[in-house]
Chains A and B, each alone.
Chain A
Amino acid sequence: MKFGVLVFPGSNCDHDAFHAIGHVLQKPVEFIWHQSEELHNCDAIILPGGFSYGDYLRTGAIARFSPVMKSLEKFANGGGLVLGICNGFQILLEAGLLPGAMMRNSGLRFICKHVHIRVEDTNTPFTGAAEQGQILTIPIAHSDGNYTCDETELKDLEKHHQVLFRYTTPGGKDDAAGNPNGSIANIAGICNRARNVAGLMPHPERAVEEVLDSNDGLVIFKSMIAALVGAARATA
């Protein structure tokens, strides 16, 4: 089992994702430079947070044209696990690997704080180890996290249980009070129809140790590891 963390010019949470997988969870992980034509035989790919290309033009809009994205697309279409965090989520949207688009936060300001998200569906490789309805405390840090999509897309997302995480109040209510950025239907994270590509705005890699005030993010990476172990067993 091997994780790969893509590095775009301007990625700045690449080391944090690396630390979470490599040091905290003690699994093999390596960086993949954005100009790489291939994915170094990795079994799961993380697109980390940051400001790829300085967020110029539009978040994720330039990074999606990086050479590595071609291989990533192939990998995703072949069923490989892909997780986009924050800017990584934005890139996946721009690349069309996930439906919808990102707008500026409704308050028009960058926000960095711990938020509460509820696990909406556990039938995915990213949430398999979590409990349905579990509330996770995980930080956000973004200016453009206001997820949106059209009505049909939203209906589709709901119908196919593609909404993985929703912002809630600490008590678990999904109303505007718990939503930091104005996202549609309080969406914090989604997956594709095939359930192998996911993106979320909160940073699970920042919530992997008690000393960082929360280790609730671990469940996402542990889910991925369990899914990879399961897949390896199935093919063995």
Chain B
Amino acid sequence: MATAQTEIKVTVEIAAEHGITRDEYARIQKILGRDPNITELGIFSVMWSEHCSYKSSKVHLKRLPTKGKLVVQGPGENAGVVDIGDGLVAAFKIESHNHPSYVEPFQGATTGVGGILRDIFTMGARPIAVLDSLRFGEIVASNTTSEEDAAKNRRVVDGVVRGVGSYGNCFGVPTVGGEVVFEPCYAQNPLVNALALGIARKEEIFLAKAKGIGNPVIYVGAKTGRDGIHGASLLASAEFTEKSQQKRPNVQVGDPFMEKLLLEACLEAMKTGAVVAIQDMGAAGLTCSTCEMASRGGTGIEIDLAKVPQRETGMTPYEIMLSESQERMLLVAEKGRGVEVLAVFKKWGLDATVVGDVTEGGLLVVKDHGKVTAKIPAHPLAEEGPVYNRPMAEPTRRKQTEQDWFAFAAEGTDLTANFTKLLATPTIASKQWITEQCDSMVRTNTLAGPAASDAAVVRIKETKRALALATDGNGRWCQLNPKVGAMHAVAEAARNVATSGARPIAATNCLNFGSPEKPEVMWQFSEVIDGLGEACVALGTPITGGNVSFYNETLGKSIYPTPTIGILGILEDATKVLKVAFRNEGDVIVLLDGSNSSKAGPQAPPRAGKRREFSSSEYSKTIGGIVAGEPPAIELGAEKWVIDCLVALAAEGTLQSAHDVSDGGVAVTLAESCFATKDLGASVRLPENAAAEYALFGESGARVVVSVAPEKLAAVRNTARQYGVGAHEIGKVTHDNVLRIEYKGHTVASAPVPTLRDAWARALEHNLKIQ
């Protein structure tokens, strides 16, 4: 199909091979008033693919909150844009590159990072940070994963890590954070979600609207080759089968050096004032950039493919229009000033050619050596694709009983061994082996790189401010309860941002799901949207963009529904970053708890039984081999109070450290705050409210462990009270390098910090080295 010639007569069957249904084909005939030729069919097929058209998600995405005081640009452009003060704006967005990263891990991952970076500098913003949210199958053999599969997963991890690292490293943007999660469901469908952040002056933001009849349309960057044809339609918009490895030619190949040149050249060209609009050629390449720019600008575009720089000879119009060769941009320049723009690209040694111009009448006209090969109304092509309100059905599940849930150990049991094992489980273990392969410091703005704080924090040199970013998502919880799981994803990302001291202001989302043609998946999707919407409204973080990735399934089995949320925050005073590490012996350790609040908030949701709720935890999975029950109930009011309280405490400068409670509960939080120090330990007695395992390893939200110098304790208590947040004094930072946790009069976990740190720090490297 990739070598199809224009002479081929298009039929419903050929359309079906392109993933175009009978109804969709009829719609194409209606728009054109005739049958499409093969090039036109190709163009429609990529623009109307799930990946590009959002045809299954559109009706639901409408329910997301996208407006806010600080939102300059919501969804619909290359990236979301928010006002960050001092005349500056931040552009940020998260996107998936899942399927390519399984078929060809290294190239799939690099081009994922490359694509999102282009989305940012297309807006005129210089990228200043990248976060990678990665999910893989289990890397250690177990009763759910064979050694052979574990080895396969390790190879995927290795390729993806090298891929994301190599692109950012060479491009010169710091990879400052993200997450890495391991679950069996991602074995043959890893998730590679890359988030990029850039900044620009507010008045210098560029949009992708082709304006000005007669303005030249300029192609810049890498030459067009045959790589990535149908990447968006056949690779991203279909589920995997045994034959998926054959789709390797559909994966694009990245060249970060070319992209670095493209970045510098584009920003320099924009400074000339001669650039009217610009869009990157990502998914669906030249097709998408031409018709979307024309559609948004209410104009048409006419190009001649003979002028497009080509890497190979004999490419058909079909191939050129559908190529997803990387590191290419399309821009519209002001009439008569094209020369200025071309000169900049020449300086950087890049191809730049006028390939056509902006026209009246709203038509996308594609010529080949002057002969028309496609003529399609741009707006219907870009915006009036099919929209489906697909059937939804709640999955029927066996009713769970007591037998399904985690059984707590007897009172007084020593949990040290389990605790050590939990610290070494890949999802909780130190990610240093991965993060060290990525440059986290280039541009010298990184105030808190990977794991230093709960959020990554980068300063903005010309101001006093810094930006904080965190990504979160718990697929296991979303599988058990999509709505509550999605709310937790937002709450945790926001809490992480606040734990660094910054105020969360906006969100971006990457929604990874199975096939939308399955009613159960659509139900999950709809529930997740409701959860995201509710949480984003409650926490004041409108969604400014992102993407939807459906068809994450292999051989008919879907991944866990996995919304990945990225939240951006502003830290007014960059010198007040809060970090995870304990600081001084004798500091008081305080557990801030929003749900244990003095405020009379909205009625707390009824809690599932503690055993039931605990069965969804990382501890239950790792120690008990049980994944069941429900995610912890969530109180958005409590989350908001904790966030506000943290922002206030950070501004007051009364905290020594802060680290939120998440995977692995309070015990893991305490351990990580010790690990980040040279030789400090902690001695802690936890509030008594349940079984010891629940108290140590339970994962309910709205909680943060902070340390406070004794003379500041009263001030911290006072502020916590003002925000209606409980502040429980639970222990002290010690100098004996031992972590000791007491519960109900027993020492339930106690070990030298170096022993625990060793288990935690070496686990990932140890497991990944076995190839």
Contact = CB atoms under 8 A, between A and B. Distances in A.
A112 B260 contact: no
Interface in B684-743: none
Interface string A3-16: 00000011011011
A139 B172 contact: no
Contacts of B162: 109
A143 B436 CA distance: 11
Residue among A55, A113, A206, A211 facing the most chain B CB atoms (10 A cut-off): A211
B110 to A, nearest CB: 12
Q: At the interface, is chain A mostly helix, strand, loop or mixed? A: mixed
9 contacts: A10-B260, A13-B172, A16-B444, A110-B438, A110-B439, A111-B437, A112-B437, A113-B436, A203-B441
Nearest to A111: B436
Interface stretch (B38-46, B163-171, B313-321, B498-506): B163-171
B611 interface: no
Contact of B441 (A50, A55, A109, A206): A206
Contact of A212 (B256, B258, B444): B444
Nearest to A19: B444
A228 interface: no
A51 interface: yes
Interface of A: 9-10, 12-13, 15-16, 19-20, 23, 49-51, 53-56, 109-113, 139, 141, 143, 203, 205-206, 208-209, 211-212
Contacts of A141: 169, 439, 441-442
B31 to A, nearest CB: 43
A9 B162 CA distance: 23
Interface string B433-457: 0011111111110110000000000
B257 A112 contact: no
Given A54-B256, A113-B436, A211-B459, A12 B172 contact: yes
Contacts of A9: 257, 260-261, 348-349
B151 interface: no
Given A9-B349, A54-B256, A205 B438 contact: no
A9 to B, nearest CB: 6
Contacts of B459: 211
A10 B439 contact: no
A88 B575 CA distance: 32
A220 to B, nearest CB: 15
A10 B260 CA distance: 6
Contact of B169 (A16, A51, A113): A51
A51 B461 contact: no
B751 to A, nearest CB: 23
Interface residues of B, number: 31
B351 interface: no
Instruction: List the 3 shortest-distance A-B pairs measured between CB atoms, nearest first.
Output: A12-B172, A54-B257, A51-B170
Contacts of A139: 441
Interface in B586-638: none
A60 B258 CA distance: 16
Contacts of A203: 441
Given A10-B261, A12-B172, A112 B438 contact: yes
B444 to A, nearest CB: 5
B382 interface: no
A13 B261 CA distance: 14
B366 to A, nearest CB: 32
A110 B349 contact: no
A211 B452 CA distance: 13
Given A51-B169, A55-B170, A211-B574, A109 B444 contact: no
Contacts of A16: 442-444
B169 A110 contact: yes
B442 A13 contact: yes
Nearest to B452: A213
A222 B261 CA distance: 32
Nearest to A108: B162
Given A16-B444, A54-B257, A109-B437, 4 more contacts: A16-B443, A55-B257, A109-B162, A143-B169
Interface in B148-186: 162, 165-166, 169-172
A50 B348 CA distance: 16
B520 interface: no
A49 B174 CA distance: 14
B360 interface: no
Nearest to A109: B437
Interface in B243-272: 255-258, 260-261
